[in-house]
Amino acid sequence: MAGDDHLKQITFHNQKTAPIGMGTWRVGEGNAETTKQEIESIHYGLNHGINVIDTAEMYGEGLAETLVGKATQSFDRSDFQIISKFYPYHATPKLIKASLEKSLNRLQTDYLDLYLLHWRGNTPLAETVSGLEDVKKAGYIKDWGVSNFDLSDLNELASVPDGLNCVVNENLYNLTSRGVEYSILPWQKKHNVDFVGYSPFGSDKNEFLKLKPEIKDIAAQKHVTVFQLLLAWAIRNNDVLSIPKTSSLSHFEDNLKALEIEFTPDELDLLDSYYPKPTHETPLDVI
Ligand SMILES: NC(=O)c1ccc[n+]([C@@H]2O[C@H](COP(=O)([O-])OP(=O)(O)OC[C@H]3O[C@@H](n4cnc5c(N)ncnc54)[C@H](OP(=O)(O)O)[C@@H]3O)[C@@H](O)[C@H]2O)c1
């Protein structure tokens, strides 16, 4: 498989993989030039050992999945994992199957590695889990998971039949949104549910991240960019798959270098002093 053997690795979904994947929100929605860059970016990632792609039926109402399908056709399907997600109002067994068929068509593949409930809606979890187990048994997905679940959602999930077959929960995670460290990450470790952290840079145009100016100074002292610092911080404990989105090869190159950045205990303490570790349960941050 193409890849960089020196890359830091974690075990994600029972496979050794780099601790970063590729986000695809807002891709596939632009003109021929941006489409070309987005495809090149996915090729760059796959050629450099970044082999988990995160997408959703919501992203551009299928346009992101279509682009991922195009971009991945020349790669061996067993060399990368695709995560996709369905809307909460498609969370009944019948609608899950219908959404999944459309996603598979757009992605030009016959299976997903992981299929996630994008966020909680009104369908009882037992019904959603039963629908997910059906499509898993039929071979259309390898496994399933959830996204934007807080502690009470996870506990409720654990209480329904087959609920603990959930293998992933994907939540917002970056330096300024670290509430999940208090009880969600420990819960997931205990129950063998992998954690995917989204929006390490605060999403598009970083609009959900108002960084304190001192963070810039800390990055400068380490001779790294703020983006590299943020990404390296998100993956510092080898227990998170962070999924930054970039459609720029030079940004991608920068992001790969974040895999080599380590923090001293003093640097971590300093970052904690600006963005403290959670000391109590807080409402889940979402984008
Ligand atoms: N499950 C959920 O509910 C949920 C919610 C939100 C996001 N997600 C997933 O998480 C992924 C990542 O989150 P996100 O897209 O919201 O935001 P993000 O990854 O935090 O930030 C993306 C932004 O950062 C820029 N960027 C990336 N690398 C950079 C670098 N090295 N230097 C400067 N700018 C850089 C990108 O622009 P360029 O393209 O120009 O580099 C883009 O504007 C999404 O794409 C999606 O797959 C999931």
Could you say which of 44, 59, 173, 275 is catalytic? 59
Continuous segment of H or E residues that includes residue 232: helix 226-234
Residue 22 CA to ligand 1 center (angstroms) comes to 9
- Written as six digits, the tokens of 39 are 């495809």
Token pair in block for residue 155: 């506990």
Residue appearing with tokens 């979904």: 13
* DSSP, res 5: T
Contact indicator for 99, 71 with CB cutoff of 8 Å: no
The pLDDT value given to residue 52: 98
Rounded-to-10 torsion of CA 63, 129, 168, 12: -90
**What stretches of the chain show up as alpha helix (H) in DSSP?**
32-47, 63-72, 93-107, 125-137, 151-159, 184-190, 213-221, 226-234, 249-257, 265-274
Residue 59 is among the residues annotated as catalytic for this protein? yes
250 Cα: distance to centroid of ligand 1 (angstroms): 14
Residues 269 and 236 sit within 8 Å (Cβ to Cβ): no
Q: What pLDDT digit, counting tens, does each position of 23-54 carry? A: 999 999 999 999 999 999 999 999 999 999 99
Length of the chain: 287
Question: For a pLDDT cut of 90, what percent of the chain falls above it?
Answer: 95
Digit-coded pLDDT (tens) for 143-171: 999 999 999 999 999 999 999 999 999 99
pLDDT exceeds 80 at position 94: yes
Is any ligand 1 atom within 6 A of the Cβ of residue 251? Answer: yes
User: How far apart are the CA of 243 and the centre of ligand 1, in A?
Assistant: 7
Looking at the DSSP bridge assignments, the partners of residue 146 are 117, 169
Domains and CATH numbers, the chain: 10-212+237-248 (3.20.20.100)
Position in ligand 1 atom list of the atom nearest CA 245 = 19
Res 7: pLDDT: 74
Residue with tokens 């380590």: 262
Neighbours of 225 (CB within 10 A): 17
pLDDT given for residue 210 in this prediction: 84
